[in-house]
Amino acid sequence: MDLISILSLETWVLLVISLVLLYRYGTRNHDVFKKQGIPGPKPLPFLGTLMNYYKAPPSYDKVMEMEYLDMVLSETLRLYSITDRLQRVCKQVVEMDGVFIPKGSVVIIPMFSLHCDPQYWPEPEEFRPEMY
* pLDDT tens sequence across 99-132: 999 999 999 989 888 888 899 888 888 888 888 7
**48: region left, alpha or beta (phi > 0 left; psi from -120 to 50 alpha):** left
User: Is the pLDDT higher at 27 or at 132?
Assistant: 132
Do 129 and 115 reside in the same domain of the chain? yes
Given a contact cutoff of 8 angstroms between Cβ atoms, the answer to whether 25 and 19 are in contact is: no
Bridge-partner residues for 87, per DSSP? 108
Do 6 and 21 reside in the same domain of the chain? yes
- Provide the terminal-to-terminal Cα distance of the chain, rounded to the nearest Å: 57
Work out the angle at residue 56's Cα, subtended by the Cα atoms of residues 41 and 48, and round it to the nearest 5 degrees: 35
Do 44 and 21 reside in the same domain of the chain? yes
Do 73 and 11 reside in the same domain of the chain? no
Do 51 and 62 reside in the same domain of the chain? no
Domain that holds residue 70: 57-132
* pLDDT tens sequence across 48-82: 555 555 566 778 888 888 888 888 999 899 888 88
Given a contact cutoff of 8 angstroms between Cβ atoms, the answer to whether 70 and 45 are in contact is: no
Say how many domains are in the chain: 2
pLDDT the model gives residue 58: 73
